Amino acid sequence: MLNWLHSRPLQIKFFLCTVLLVSAVLLVFLLNVLQVLNQFLSHHIEDDMQQRTHILALTLMVGPAAHNQNDLQQLLEEMSALHGYCYLSVQNSAGKVLGSAGDVALMRSAVPDAALADDDRNGCFKSEIPLLHDGKSFGLLRYGVDTSFIATLESNLRTKLLIISALWLVIGTAVYFFLVRRLVKPLQAITRASELMAQGNLNTSMPGELPQDELGKLASSFQRMATSLRERIESQQSYAHALYAEQARLNALLSIIPVGILFVDHAHNVQYINLECRRLWGLDEGEDYIGQQDTVLVAHAHDAMDQPGAFAQHLDTAIGEYGISPSFDTLLRNGRIIRSRSCVVPDAAGKHYIGRIWLFEEVT
């Protein structure tokens, strides 16, 4: 999952992180609200039940229902139907039931509750109140209140809170998505332009009219870098063109002078050989000797020399010298004489040598 997320665009990462963060905040907020509502409902409903039942008890204490059993029964039935009591029962001091309404079986097994608990919310809250008349106790009012409406009320509240939270989540993430999209869109344009620059298209322009924040400064830096690189490449191309023209003129000059020229690098690999050098030593004009060791050329010209051992000794002596070597004449078997001379070629700084140049001239 993390590997997949790392490979997604920056816009998707921002959006998912925002959704997770807002969802977590809304979840904590929703749980806290439900807890507060739960405590508020419990306290409010319990107070309401007690106040309502105390009013009934006061009515029984001072009204005719305290003395007339028929009136008492009628009052209990009316109150049970109006206010959602599970049962109502009035007993005298001896425990005799003077009147009752509601679920009689539940009334007989009822044990008074100390407070409204979670278990009572789908059932019946049970309690009792002593009845007094003229300052003397004459009985007991036992009652049970139907509390099933509390679960329905809490369910409705949770549903409404969830709907409100979902709406806030949708609205918040939609607004944030458009904000992030507006922020990331210039970054995507900068990324595409930088990719084109990396592919060699330095004429690519960065998106314009960006705010002068980090993205605007980044685009300006990339644009300046591309301009600098383009100018440097154009300058190098100009230098390369001039160098190529100079090399062409030099090759033409070396090709027409009647002197054999051979250039080898510091590793004794052939880097240049002209046609005159090939002709003097009897080398094949069609073979490419570039990159081969100079010993290969000596081996090819070995049979043409009258004294190859003397030429090999001259080579060793010339290679051991840093400056211009003394000239050396080599007699060929066909009677021609070739005079050779060599010199090391230093680099531009003059601290190291990059090879050795050999000059061969027929002096027969």
Cβ distance 289 to 273 under 8 Å? yes
Residues 13 and 109 in one domain: yes
Residues 265 and 236 in one domain: no
Among residues 265, 286, 241, 233, the alpha carbon closest in space to that of 358 is found at: 265
Taking residues 20-38, report their average pLDDT: 75
Q: Which of these three, 256, 271, 289, is where a domain ends?
A: 256
Q: pTM for the full model?
A: 0.41
Taking residues 106-124, report their average pLDDT: 59
Q: How far is 259 from 359, CA to CA, in rounded Å?
A: 7
**Phi-psi sector, 68: left (phi>0), alpha (psi -120 to 50), beta:** beta
Residues 42 and 148 in one domain: yes
Residues 234 and 281 in one domain: no
CATH value at residue 313 = 3.30.450.20
Is the pLDDT score of 2 beyond 60?
no
**Dihedral of alpha carbons 150, 151, 154, 155, sign:** negative
- 245-283 pLDDT per residue, tens: 888 887 777 777 788 999 999 888 999 888 888 888 888
Bridge-based pairing of strands 260-265 and 270-273 is antiparallel
Residues 163 and 251 in one domain: no
Residues 229 and 273 in one domain: no
| Residues spanned by the domain of 313 | 258-362
User: Looking at residue 360, what is its pLDDT?
Assistant: 92
Q: Structural domain tally of the chain?
A: 3
Residues 148 and 18 in one domain: yes
Residues 161 and 276 in one domain: no
Q: What is the DSSP letter of 305?
A: B
Which of the four pLDDT bands, split at 50, 70 and 90, describes residue 213?
low
**Dihedral of alpha carbons 124, 129, 133, 137, sign:** positive
**Can you name the residues that pair with 125 across neighbouring β-strands?**
145
- 90, part of any domain: yes
